Amino acid sequence: MLPRWVLVPAAIGLLLFVLPLLGILSRVPWSRFPALVTSDSALTALQLSLRTASASTVLCVLLGVPMALVLARGRVPGARVLRSVVLLPLVLPPVVGGLALLWALGRRGLLGPTLSVLGVEVGFTTAAVVLAQTFVSLPFLVLSLEGALLTAGDRYESVAATLGARPGRVLVRITVPLVAPGLLSGAVLAFARALGEFGATLTFAGSLQGVTRTLPLEVYVQRETDPDAAAALSLLLVVVAVVVVVAVRGRRSTV
Amino acid sequence: MRLRALPGLLVVALLAACGAGGGSATGATSNSPAERTLTVFAAASLKGTFTRIGEEFEAANPGVRVTFSFAGSSDLATQIGEGAPADVFAAADEKNMAKVTGQSLTAGDPVDFATNVLEIATPPGNPAGVRSFADLARPGLKVVVCAAQVPCGAATETVERSTGVTLAPVSEENSVTDVLGKVTAGEADAGLVYVTDVRGAGDAVTGVEFPESSRAVNTYPVTALKDAADASLAKGFVDFVSGPQGRDVLQDAGFGAP
């Protein structure tokens, strides 16, 4: 039972997404497309993007699941402040995120000297790309999982606890299976966001083929001299993101 | 109740946005002699100098307001090609100017008004002890350069080819300002930027000049555009930039004569 006028702004909103996509399609040089997306630099960038986005998704799960649990179930003081902090990377301009990472972990950053002593230099490495991507993707995982946890409620957990299950067992046997779909969709969102990360990566990690130049950075470089290649690679990026999101989300809706 | 107001709000917001845009557009094309506006698209590396030249031009031409759009030459050339309302275009290299002349968007031939050469920028005091271009190839030294696709990167490649020194940079940035940023942040031990960037950065970097830089001289052309709102004003600005007053400002900033 929706009022019919809702359709109008909804359609305009949809158009705002669809039109730019059509814009990309209109600029893709179809005859050169196969050659452009299989060029050495394109494949290197795609591979690096898939590798780093996967790594940062794993990091997001490892760090984000406990964070979401603490936020939703932890009853810690200041949870609201904590939630705002988790949200921060979502609202920060990516370049600010990159600078913040630089000032924290760069050579002259807060932890830079300490890291140097340990023989670790993050700047200009693939690890820096993963860190930048994790920084911007983590909120997606934490928020969707927290939402799932709140929706699921803690009824089954309480029952399990009264039956004598220890907290660790409750977590593994009850909580995690209960919110598995939420965790999956959160992880997919995080992966897609990591795949598209640009500003923080460029600022924090730099841009070097095979090491830090992910697909979005490759698009940015190609745009200078070869707009055709930039268009083809943009489409490639969109397709990869859509395939990932549809594959996982589509499967989830049939469960 | 609140939801019912939503479409109305949307329309109001759209109208407000369009109204604001339309308002400034009519301001820009206004023909009143009291206030004429000149829109200059200029390469990012010209920001400091052109801002000053713009002020001097306004002082010399009462009633004229110069507004600038500073960005990478390639972006500006694309925007002009897509119909951006620019009166004058100043590029950081001839290649990007050629994109605009190639589409017959200029009024007359572009005028070369300045040159720029590369210089090594290091963190203050040059802690890594870089003395020459060849030093940049030293193993373990973190060097940042421009990507070959952008003018400063093309110049870097030219110097590499002519000297036979092959650099192994840790990053190839998209703009000279990004290279400078990595050096001033202390992340890189050295970066290749323009002489003017080193001078503009002041104490934030230490510059190391190298003789081989003369093998890759970057020439800056400026031109009035065909669709300029006021052709004579646009031409006047081009003459001003390439004339003695413009030359003075550019020379102060480290630019060479064309």
Bridge-based pairing state of the strands B36-43 and B64-71: parallel
Question: Are the beta carbons of A108 and B186 separated by less than 8 Å?
Answer: yes
Q: Which of B178, B248, B257 is nearest to B219 (CA)?
A: B257
Distance from CA of B164 to the nearest CA of A (A): 21
Position A251 confidence tier, pLDDT thresholds 50, 70, 90: low
Q: How far apart are CA B178 and CA B196, in angstroms?
A: 15
Contacts of B174 in chain A (CB under 8 A): 202, 207, 220-221, 224
Read off the pLDDT of residues B49-97 as tens digits, 9 standing for 90 and up. 999 999 999 999 999 999 999 988 888 998 999 888 899 999 999 999 9
Beta strands B106-116; B218-225: pairing state: antiparallel
Interface with B, mutate which of A108, A207, A211 (most B CBs under 10 A): A207
Residues of chain B contacting A210 with CB distance shorter than 8 Å:
none
pLDDT of residue B17: 59
Whether pLDDT at A53 is above 60: yes
Which residue blocks in chain B are alpha helix, DSSP H?
6-29, 47-60, 73-81, 94-102, 151-163, 176-184, 195-201, 231-242, 244-252
Closest-CA distance, B15 to chain A, in angstroms, reads 15
B123 or A223, higher pLDDT = B123
Q: What distance in Å separates the CA atoms of residue A111 and residue B220, rounded to the nearest whole number?
A: 42
Q: Do A9 and B72 touch (CB under 8 A)?
A: no
Please tell me what DSSP assigns to residue A171. I
Least confident window among A73-87, A223-237, B6-20: B6-20
Structure confidence by residue, pLDDT tens digits, B188-246: 999 999 999 999 999 999 999 999 999 999 999 999 999 898 999 999 999 999 999 99
Written as one string, the DSSP assignment of B105-173 is: -EEEEEEEEEEE-EEEEESTT-TT---STGGGG-TT--EEEE-TTSHHHHHHHHHHHHHTPPP--SEEE
Question: How many CB atoms sit inside 10 A of residue A164's CB?
Answer: 7
Strand order in the sheet with B206-208: B171-173, B143-146, B190-194, B118-122, B206-208
- 3-class DSSP state for residue A111? coil
Q: Please, what is the Cα angle at A142 between A158 and A78, to 5 degrees?
A: 70
For residue B119, the cross-strand partners are B193
CB atoms within 10 A of CB A133: 30
Helices A40-73 and A227-254: crossing angle, nearest 10°? 40
C-alpha dihedral (A159, A164, A166, A169), degrees to nearest 10: -60
Out of A20-29, A170-179, A211-220, B171-180, least confident range: A170-179
8 Å CB contact of B174 and A220: yes
Give which of B76, B103, B170 to mutate to test A binding, by max A Cβ within 10 Å: B170
Q: Which has the closest alpha carbon to A178: A155, A194, A161?
A: A155
Strand B64-71: give its sheet, edge to edge.
Answer: B64-71, B36-43, B88-90, B218-225, B106-116
Tell me what pLDDT residue B21 has.
43
Give the DSSP H/E element, type plus range, for residue B190: strand B190-194
Q: Please, are residues B70 and B46 in contact by the beta-carbon 8 Å criterion?
A: yes
Is residue B23 predicted with pLDDT exceeding 50?
no
Contacts of A43 (CB under 8 A, 6+ apart): none
**Secondary structure (3-state) at A118:** coil
What residues in B contact A12, CB-CB < 8 Å?
10
Q: Say whether B171 and A106 touch across the interface (CB within 8 A).
A: no
Measured CA to CA in angstroms, residue A5 lies from A19, A174, B7 at distances of 21, 43, 8
Per the prediction, chain A carries an average pLDDT of 90
Find which of A223, A224, A225, A226 to mutate to test the B interface (most B CBs within 10 Å of its CB).
A224
pLDDT band at residue B138, thresholds of 50, 70 and 90?
A: very high
User: ipTM exceeding 0.90?
Assistant: no
Q: Under 8 Å CB-to-CB from A176, ≥6 apart: which residues?
A: A65, A183
Counting one residue from A and one from B, how many pairs have CB atoms under 8 Å apart?
63
Average pLDDT, chain B: 88
Residues of B in contact with A100 (CB under 8 A): none
Residues 92-151 of B with CB under 8 A from A: 142, 144, 147, 149-150
pLDDT of amino acid B4 = 55
Gap between the Cα atoms of B192 and B228, Å rounded: 36
Q: Among A239, A244, A229, which residue's Cα sits nearest to residue A34?
A: A229
User: Is B187 within 8 Å of A221 when comparing Cβ atoms?
Assistant: no
E strand or H helix that includes residue A227: helix A227-254
Q: Give the C-alpha separation, A223 to B99, whole Å.
A: 14
pTM for this structure?
A: 0.83
Burial track B42-78 (b if 16+ CB lie within 10 A, e otherwise): bbebbeebbebbbeebeeebeebebebbbbbbbbbbb
Judge whether B169 is closer than 8 Å to chain A, CB to CB: yes
Q: pLDDT per residue over A131-182, tens digit each?
A: 999 999 999 999 999 999 988 888 888 888 888 888 888 888 888 888 998 9
